[in-house]
Amino acid sequence: MNDPIFGRLEWSSFSVHEFIVDPSINSAVVAGAGMMVVIGGIALLWVLSHYRLWGKLWSDWLTSVDHKKIGIMYIVLALVMMTRGVIEGVVMRAHQATALGGGFLSADHFAQLFSTHGTIMILFVAMPLLIGLINYVVPLQIGARDMIFPVMNQVSLGLTTAAAALIMISLVIGRFETGGWSAYPPYTGSVFSPDVGPDYWIWAIVISGIGTTLTGINFAVTIYKSRAPGMHFMRMPLFTWTALCTAIMIVYAMPPLTVSSLMLALDRYLDFHFFTNDLGGNMMNYANIFWMFGHPEVHIVVLPAYGVFSEISATYSAKRLYGYRSLVIATMAIAIISFTVWLHHVFTMGQSASVNIAFGIATMVIAVPTGVKVYDWMATLYRGRVRITAPMIYLIGFFILFMAGGLTGMILANPTVDFQVHNSLFLVAHFHNVLIPGTLFGMLAGIHYWFPKAFGFRLAEHLARRAAWLWIIGFCFAFLPLYWLGLLGMPRRSASFTDPTFLPWMILALVGAFTILGALVTMVQMGWVSIRDRDQLAVPVGDPWDGRTLEWSVAAPPSEWNFAATPDVHSIDAFAVEKASGRPYQPALQYEDIEMANPTAMGLVVCVAATLMGFGLVWQIWWLAILGILAIATSVIVRSFRTDTKRIISASELKQAHGNWLDRVANTPAVTRDEEISFRNRGRSAVDVVR
Amino acid sequence: MNTKREGATRAVNYLSVLGVLIMLGFFTGDVFGADSFLTPLGPIAEAERTHLIRVIGITMIAIVPVLVGVPLILWRYRRGNKRAVYRPDWTFSKPLEITMWGVPILIICILGFWLWHHTVRFDPYKPLGDNPLQIQVVGLDWKWLFIYPEQGVASVGEMAIPVDRPVSLTLTTDTVMQSFMVSALAGQIYAMPGMETKLNLIADRPGTTLGQNTQYSGEGFAQQKFTVHALPEADWNAWVNEAQKAPLALNTRIYERLARRGSLAEARAALAPEQSAGSLLFSSIPPDLFKSIVSRYHDGTSVTAKQQPGSPAYQSGDEHE
Amino acid sequence: MTIENLHPGLNLGAAHGEAHTRSEPVIFGFWVFLMSDLILFGILFATYVAMSNGTAGGPGPQELFNLTSIAIQTGLLLLSSLTFGFASLTLKHDEGRRRHLLIWLIITAALAVAFLGFEASDFHSMMQKGGVPSRSGWLSAYYALVGLHGIHIIIGLLWMAVMLAQISVFGLSYQVKVRLLMLGLYWHFLDLVWVGIFSIVFLAGVA
């Protein structure tokens, strides 16, 4: 019987405990990781207090429902979690480089590492990155003032943060599951893993899953209903198109994950038999349902990256995007087909050849629209005037490296070969090959591209480029050797190996991991230097790259309401057309009063309550879990009784603010692309003289 | 800053370092690991290797244009090159569209045909000939038990098969989901408790190779490997004889002890302490052992944690029980 | 905001034209949410069907299902959809008559409570016969599917209670009307899911 107050929680649950009782390298690493979280948290609290930032944090960020603020917070969350995820990757690489017959970590610790690494990277790095980017950019691209449901947007962020908090807490108190990010039962069931590890995973997944589903609804409805007059679907920027398809995919793909995780929870908590060995359970159902989520998920994380590549290939070639219609059709095709291929994750589970054939061919079919997209971006560069900036370096890295990922995807789509390389390092190399040059490079390119819009100053270009090259080189060394190791037969998730011919490749991979760490450090340095030099790098007029779409037509950072008057759209690349016709930056014919949502603490309340609820569920501290659920329900109901949830901004205020800004624009000299990365670029673009 | 030259220099640099290191890797030992399908011991693995090469070959048609085209385009259409044509409003070309959609579709059609054909031909469930050798495989934490029902023997950690005779494996586990693979002979197949899966393979030359579990099943997962001996007929008969004379007999109690979490080495230390290395051989097996392992999950009673091999709570197989 | 997208069936009184347009994205968003909920139930339906042989020697549908009680539950729920329909009509046509609206909502809630009562009693007698979720995979799938539907009904009842309070406090404001519209969608959706449960679980179970 559990303790009524503390549930399963005991002193030995704290991660430092093992080191105190039984010091070793392994337990030192475990305790150290936990300590870092605690010290990091305390350091953050100290900084906020010392620089008296609490007030500003509360009023400008934590209570804001502005899509721009929420977008930035999502990306900050992602970058923090990415730091942890990369460090975990480096530690795993280091362990495997010493794992010929051993390794410096315990096998159990290694298993927790690969499980947290995968969970964090997909759900707490890739997803928040794309959600943050879409949150920030899409309303600006479609001429809207905010998402349709700003408070729900904030609540989504709160739920995602709560789930991330649970994962961080698991470093300090308790442990994480060891079944990988897919957490297959029966291994993760209560019989084989009675500890709290799988419970941390389950509740982090369920809580963030609900948040993400709500985000999908928000994005889809916003893009459907909030576009500026004249912006037909076929006039939307490609990034918005990919955001729309991603949003719809989220709405359809997240429920299976919620279902499979809750079914596992029912098995563990209430002795149900969905996936148990006995009494009619069937573990194959878990695999199928999980991958019904899992496959669309990987396309969810890659489509926005494709959207970014569409935007930057056009902007940095000073050209219109080639093949708009093809790109739209390809995006939709990828979105739909991605729901029909999930079984390729379990070709080896024993089903008939016919089933494997159907899913194998469907999997290969996705390569067609994907290839079309790549060719379309090449055609955009073709006959353009290409400028190699940091985002373009990421695009180049994508072009060359993603091809290997696509090739190996085609290989894996064939059951005949998959039977050999499934669950091997070949698979690990493949999915990192598509996730890093695909998703990550796209997201990083997007961050570099839109950073000046969000913060009003550019990032230090030389450091940005260095980081990009380090990512490319680091990726090559860290992952290309794994293809070979996989063909040689090395399984994934191996805490040790016995074949000495594997060792040189492991060392190569470790070199790559350190290079990636170097890329991360360079990015931190880039952030530091950029903030230090922000006055010189400032681009207040908001169009540093001679952009083509609507978001570049407003100030950097944009005013809270984005557009003083909702623009009237007449074509694709509306802003480029305005600049070409010689009449950008015009005052509006008419200004109207607008309604904006008020700030609220709702998201924060839900975040704290969900974290407590999740912690209570994990440790079986039932009163805490119930308290958390009640707090969420109560806050929703109480909020629904509030009537003061919006405020009016008057037309005259808008007119005056807009007028001030237009004056500023008029007094800012325009620069050509020759001076794009010089300090003279203040964000106003001149017609390019190179013709 | 001349970023184009800088970029080119960096590209050459990283390619050369990569090349050197790859060559280093090749020269530090066995290039094509003896235990993979790159050095097959049987026709199925060999066909799988051929299929891999074909897929790579054909898909290159779609990929090489990118690898070649991107550097060319970047060089020719760099902003500094005023001689290059500039068509900022060029957004559609019918021949290009037909090519970029059509060629990949064609490639997929060809690959799809091969995929279909070979998936049927190399279906693990497809028998490879008459009179196959039957082996029943039980995945445990963290070792493999091989039961030879016709020969009346069993082994842990070692699978011996005769060359040139089809082998029909029936697999299950008594713990969690695992995945059985002998790369050099055939692809893998999942094995699951309460269920039976099948794998057919055949060795067409003698040799020793590695078999393993590829589906993570706990702390000892990386140790769950076994040796596979493909033996000429005389050696195969000798192996069977040796097994039939082994001092250990497999009974329920010993099976329950085997089923405890631990590696082969641990099981050996407990059951055959005088043997310092190698696999465990059993000279007799209880009748219908495999069937009983599968069916115990279908008798309508629950299998508690204490009764479930592989769970932390499982302790059976001891005299002191 | 797109123009010309009038939402049919929503009578918002004096602020008619503009409020139509304003409510459009919210209602549309709720439809999208219902799509995600449909997938949730869909997966549970598929799981139920896949596990229909997983009785593991334990009690099955023949022993456990009480079709009379199920018929009554179905009648109650369908009736509750009808009475909610009357509430919606009252909202559209008799805007001044708040009392009628409240009465129809209370009747709907009472029918839902009766539904839950029969369902709870069914669960109880099933468990007495050994039909507990921990007995078999089939029973787990049954309780998850039917149970999730029941949880949705409970949430709907909570929502109705809050609406009753808000109608009393705010009257028939724009916000209250939009919420009642969404509640109606939710309620009829749950009815549809029940028709699925009735057919796939109960009728197919004893066939």
Closest CA to A26 of A81, A90, A95: A95
Q: Where are the beta strands (DSSP E) in chain B?
A: 133-140, 143-148, 153-156, 158-162, 167-173, 178-181, 189-191, 197-201, 207-213, 225-231, 280-282
Give B241 to chain A, closest Cα distance, Å. 30
Interchain CB distance below 8 Å, C43 and A217 = no
Interface residue B26 vs chain A (CB under 8 A): no
Alpha-carbon distance of C120 to C6, in angstroms, equals: 42
Alpha-carbon distance of A301 to A307, in angstroms, equals: 11
Interface residue B14 vs chain A (CB under 8 A): yes
pLDDT tens figures, A114-171: 999 999 999 999 999 999 999 999 999 999 999 999 999 999 999 999 999 999 999 9
Interchain CB distance below 8 Å, C51 and A252 = no
Report the pLDDT value the prediction gives residue B12, as an integer from 0 to 100.
Answer: 64
Question: Which residues, listed in sequence order, are joined to residue B180 by a DSSP beta bridge?
Answer: B189, B213
- Is C142 inside any structural domain? yes
- Is C5 inside any structural domain? no
Alpha-carbon distance of A382 to A370, in angstroms, equals: 19
Alpha-carbon distance of A435 to B233, in angstroms, equals: 49
pLDDT tens figures, B177-209: 999 999 999 999 999 999 999 999 999 999 999
- Is C67 inside any structural domain? no
Alpha-carbon distance of C80 to C156, in angstroms, equals: 12
The count of domains in chain C is: 1
A386 pLDDT above the threshold of 60: yes
Q: What percent of chain A has pLDDT over 70?
A: 99
**Cβ pair A164, A77 in contact under 8 A:** yes
Closest CA to B171 of B181, B161, B186, B157: B181
Binned at pLDDT 50, 70 and 90, residue A101 comes out as confident
Binned at pLDDT 50, 70 and 90, residue B35 comes out as confident
Better pLDDT: B81 or A392: A392
A518 pLDDT above the threshold of 90: yes
Angle between helices C16-50 and A283-315 (to 10 degrees): 140
Give C183 to chain A, closest Cα distance, Å. 14
C189 pLDDT above the threshold of 60: yes
**Cβ pair A460, A533 in contact under 8 A:** yes
Closest CA to B142 of B224, B265, B256, B258: B224
pLDDT tens figures, C131-173: 999 999 999 999 999 999 999 999 999 999 999 999 999 988 8
Binned at pLDDT 50, 70 and 90, residue B3 comes out as low
Interface residue A256 vs chain C (CB under 8 A): yes
Confirm whether pTM is higher than 0.90: yes
The full DSSP string for B228-261 is: EEEE-HHHHHHHHHHHHT-S----HHHHHHHTSS
3-state helix, strand, coil in chain B (%, to 5): 40, 20, 40
- For range A469-497, the mean pLDDT: 97
Report the pLDDT value the prediction gives residue B20, as an integer from 0 to 100.
Answer: 65
B23 pLDDT above the threshold of 90: no
- For range A220-246, the mean pLDDT: 97
- For range A162-189, the mean pLDDT: 97
pLDDT tens figures, B209-234: 999 999 999 999 999 999 999 999 99
- For range A513-531, the mean pLDDT: 98
- Is C9 inside any structural domain? no
Q: Residue A335: what residue type? A: A
Alpha-carbon distance values, B259 to B63, B144, B197 (Å): 49, 10, 20
Alpha-carbon distance values, B55 to A65, A411, B102, B141 (Å): 50, 6, 18, 36
Alpha-carbon distance of C54 to A278, in angstroms, equals: 10
Alpha-carbon distance of A649 to C9, in angstroms, equals: 31
- Is C61 inside any structural domain? no
Give C154 to chain A, closest Cα distance, Å. 13
**Cβ pair C8, C21 in contact under 8 A:** no
Report the pLDDT value the prediction gives residue C13, as an integer from 0 to 100.
Answer: 52
For residue C40, list chain A residues with Cβ-Cβ distance below 8 A. Answer: 255, 258-259
Give A436 to chain B, closest Cα distance, Å. 18
Task: Write down all domains in chain A, each with its CATH number in brackets.
Answer: 53-600+645-675 (1.20.210.10)
Binned at pLDDT 50, 70 and 90, residue A350 comes out as very high
Where in the sequence is the domain holding C176, given as residue range(s)? 14-51+77-206
Token look-up 């970058």 returns: A79
Interchain CB distance below 8 Å, C133 and A272 = yes
Tally of CA atoms within 13 A in the half-sphere of B240 that contains its CB: 17
Binned at pLDDT 50, 70 and 90, residue B7 comes out as low
Chains in contact with C, where contact means 3 or more Cβ–Cβ distances below 8 Å, are A, B
Report the pLDDT value the prediction gives residue C20, as an integer from 0 to 100.
Answer: 76
Interface residue A149 vs chain C (CB under 8 A): yes
| Complex ipTM | 0.94
Q: From its phi and psi, is residue B283 left (phi > 0), alpha (psi between -120 and 50) or beta?
A: alpha
Report the pLDDT value the prediction gives residue B4, as an integer from 0 to 100.
Answer: 57
- For range A307-318, the mean pLDDT: 97
Report the pLDDT value the prediction gives residue C5, as an integer from 0 to 100.
Answer: 38
Interchain CB distance below 8 Å, B298 and C56 = yes
Report the pLDDT value the prediction gives residue A284, as an integer from 0 to 100.
Answer: 97
For residue B302, list chain A residues with Cβ-Cβ distance below 8 A. Answer: 278-279
3-state helix, strand, coil in chain C (%, to 5): 80, 0, 20
Interface residue A640 vs chain C (CB under 8 A): yes
Binned at pLDDT 50, 70 and 90, residue C18 comes out as confident
Closest CA to B315 of B264, B262, B271: B262
CATH of the domain at C33: 1.20.120.80
Closest CA to A138 of A266, A16, A228, A18: A228
Interface residue C180 vs chain A (CB under 8 A): no
pLDDT tens figures, A415-446: 999 999 999 999 999 999 999 999 999 999 99
Report the pLDDT value the prediction gives residue B1, as an integer from 0 to 100.
Answer: 43
- Is C66 inside any structural domain? no
How many beta-carbon pairs below 8 A join chains B and C? 7
Interface residue A345 vs chain C (CB under 8 A): no
Which of A225, A262, A644 to mutate: most C Cβ within 10 Å? A225
pLDDT tens figures, C94-143: 666 789 999 999 999 999 999 999 999 999 999 999 999 999 999 999 99
Per the structure block, which two tokens stand in for A560?
A: 């809270």
Give A330 to chain C, closest Cα distance, Å. 23
pLDDT tens figures, A604-632: 999 999 999 999 999 999 999 999 999 99
A262 pLDDT above the threshold of 70: yes
B77 pLDDT above the threshold of 80: yes
Torsion of CA A475, A479, A481, A482, to 10 degrees: 180
